[in-house]
Amino acid sequence: MKECYNLEYFEKSASYVREKIDYQPEIAIILGSALGTLAEDISHRTEIPYEEIPNFLVSTVKSHAGKLILGELCGKKVVCMSGRFHYYEGYDYEQLVAPVRLFKQLGVKTMILTNAAGAINTGYRPGDLMIIKDHINLPGASPLRGPNDDRIGPRFFDLCNAYDEELRRLAKNLAGTCRLRVQEGIYAYQVGPHFETPAEIRFLRMAGADAAGMSTVTEAITAAHCGIKTLAISLITNMGAGVDNRAVNGEEVDQVAAESAGEFRLYLKEIVKNMV
């Protein structure tokens, strides 16, 4: 491990951000591939490119903007990442704690994660949303590997409520406000950048997974460690490999994400509005 990812390390990022704002953000939002348009609704905004923030990471994916946006959304003070970090970009697992650790130092209590995912559940279809109720972490590795700073969270910690039950209830109660179908299911995380094989999708279906993706889980684990409540919602952009005898391709993922982004954005705003 190259760095010691302790409290002081991330406090350096946080103090840089804090100097540019005069409030404490309460909600953090991480926007996934091609789902970044929600960031346009943030008012009184302060934008900070990732590369300016000390001890932070830089986004390398084309459909991810790579800036932190702070401001107001539906009357709530938010910090939003338009563009996230993935293991497949070449980061070490341990580095992937950076966003959530920064949120924690800024005083964030609640986090919303969004992502694009492929359906494993044959009852799902592209354009559906899936509230994540649990995950399967296929790599088995943890971003919390390495020395633990007890000031941030305990060495060993529970993941039973990693996807907060109350927040899921709120999202389900608001499902009627959304024109997309809202499912609730289990997210299988694999590191990518390849999509799964048809055999892996069949295997994951037997294991109880409903959708597969390449993000979110490292962030949800890091949040559970430091006590930030998490709501995570996938946009189903395609059927998983082998489900409908078609190859999965990245352009199709981006296209479906773009088509559903407007409706997803309205739904997310409804959720933020109703968060206490």
Applying CB under 6 A, which residues contact ligand HPA?
Answer: 116-118, 195-196, 212-214, 237-238, 240, 248, 253
Nearest CA to 6 among 123, 115, 151?
Answer: 151
Does 194 show up as a binding residue in the annotation?
A: no
Q: Is 64 annotated as ligand-binding?
A: yes
Q: Which is nearer to ligand HPA, 25 or 240 (CB)?
A: 240
Output the six-digit token pair for 8.
């002081």
**Cα 88 to Cα 143: distance, rounded to the nearest angstrom:** 14
Looking at beta carbons only, is 33 or 55 nearer to ligand HPA? 33
Tell me the CA distances in angstroms from 247 to 194, 239, 255, one per residue in order: 12, 9, 15
Maximum distance among all Cα pairs of the chain, rounded to whole angstroms: 53
Helices 7-18 & 98-106, crossing angle to 10 degrees? 60
Give min distance, CB of 238 to ligand HPA, in A: 5
Q: Which CB, 134 or 252, lies closer to ligand HPA? A: 252
| Closest CB 51 distance from ligand HPA, rounded Å | 26
Which of 151, 175, 127 has its CA nearest to residue 225? 151
In the complex, least distance from residue 190 CB atom to ligand HPA, rounded to whole angstroms: 7
84 has binding-site annotation: yes
CB 252, min distance to ligand HPA, A: 9
55 or 215: CB nearest ligand HPA: 215
- Helix H or strand E encompassing 12: helix 7-18
85 marked among binding-site residues: yes
Sequence ranges of the binding site for a purine D-ribonucleoside: 196, 238
Sequence ranges of the binding site for phosphate: 33, 64, 84-86, 116, 215
